[in-house]
Amino acid sequence: MNYKGMPIAELVSVTEIVTVLKKRFVWHTGKRSGGEAHDFPEMIYIVKGAYTPSLDGKSYPLQEGELLTYAPLAHHKGERLEDADVLILSFKGEGALLESLYNRVLSLTYEEKERLFAIAEKGLSFFEPHPVQAQLGGMRLKEGTDPFVLQEMKRELELFIISMATRLTDAPHGEGSEERGIVERYLREHIGESLTLAEIAEENGMSVSKLKLLFRGGEEGGAVNYHLALKIEEAKRLLREKQYNVSEIAERLGFSSVHYFSRLFKARVGASPTLYAKTLLTGALSAAEA
């Protein structure tokens, strides 16, 4: 018998990883560079701090947890340099889902951040400065890089793109999309507070039902859970910096008790805050998050 399957459309295809970089921008008042443009897309993600690039003459203020994808041939340069730790990922690819991300600022979900860090961890291990173009930030693959790892990176990057593009498709459009972005920024700015759904809605001038509508279908399960996901990401950062103990971090992030904080952290990360911090010392956790 002849069987006919269902054709699968190639909505996104990554054909080459160009660079994976981890950089620190330091605020300065000197002359900015003339910028650059290239024939492949590039993603910049703000791990910590703030950074404002100019993209074809338009400013894109980026805050911690936000990602911008430069479209191919888009001219980009640093317009306002503040202290910022960033991940830069450039690659060659095509497809409608990838194109939907071009020149758009996105706040990543908890799951998307984890996926991005996993990709960066592999990339940072297999790229090295180019011997000729190092001063310009040029990178190249190390000799002997396992092709299987590159194939794995390709698939993970495609899934990362699919996750973001699908979320954009499912999210409210127009004014609603902008309103969600405003709420997300509000939650980041009030990460040290314990907020209820009613409080979030009131502070952003909307009803609770409107707030639920804006966050429907999100991987975080709603505005409050999105706020908790932000807190856990911040807790991980504070644990990496080793400036505060677990009790101090719980207090800084507005948790009612250190026990509740520890239970939530373990449920979302898979390890208690104490174990997470100890594992960091052994170097067993992701270098991409350091």
> Which of residues 148, 170, 192 is at a domain's end?
170
**pLDDT (0 to 100) of residue 285:** 39
Q: What's the confidence (pLDDT) of residue 259?
A: 94
Q: Which of 113-122, 249-258, 276-285 has the lowest mean pLDDT?
A: 276-285
Residues 136 and 254 in one domain: no
Tell which wins on pLDDT, 284 or 118.
118
Q: Round to whole Å and give the CA distance between 155 and 243.
A: 37
Query: Domain ends where: 118, 147, 170?
Result: 170
Q: Is the pLDDT of residue 114 over 70?
A: yes
Percentage of residues in the chain having pLDDT higher than 90: 22
Residue range of the domain that includes 240 = 175-289
Tally of domains within the chain = 2
Q: How many CA atoms lie within 13 A of 5 on its CB side?
A: 3
CATH code for the domain of 38: 2.60.120.280
Q: Quickly state the pLDDT bin for 51 (edges 50, 70, 90).
A: confident
Closest CA to 52 of 99, 30, 44, 87: 44
Burial of 157 (0-12, 13-18, 19+ CB in 10 A): buried
Domain-terminating residue out of 170, 193, 222: 170
pTM for the model: 0.60
Residues 263 and 164 in one domain: no
Task: Give the pLDDT mean for 141-168.
Answer: 84
Residue 80 sits in the same domain as residue 18? yes
- Measured CA to CA, the distance from residue 17 to residue 157 in angstroms comes to 9
What residues have CB less than 8 Å from 51, skipping those under 6 apart? 25, 44, 62, 78, 80, 81, 82, 84, 86
Q: What is the mean pLDDT of residues 161-181?
A: 69
User: Is there a single domain that holds both residue 44 and residue 145?
Assistant: yes
Q: How confident is the model at residue 139 (pLDDT cuts 50, 70, 90)?
A: low
pLDDT of amino acid 76 = 85
Asked whether residue 77 falls in the same domain as residue 163, the answer is yes
* 4 located within any domain: no
Together in a domain, 47 and 163: yes
Both tokens of residue 259?
Answer: 């026990």
Provide the pLDDT for residue 194.
92
Residue 175 pLDDT grade (very low, low, confident, very high; cuts 50, 70, 90): very low
Is the model's pLDDT at 133 over the cut of 60? no
Distance of CA 235 to the CA centre of its chain: 16
Residue of 226 and 246 predicted with greater confidence: 246
CA 185 to CA 180: how far, in whole Å?
9
Q: Rounded CA gap, 253 and 231, in Å?
A: 6
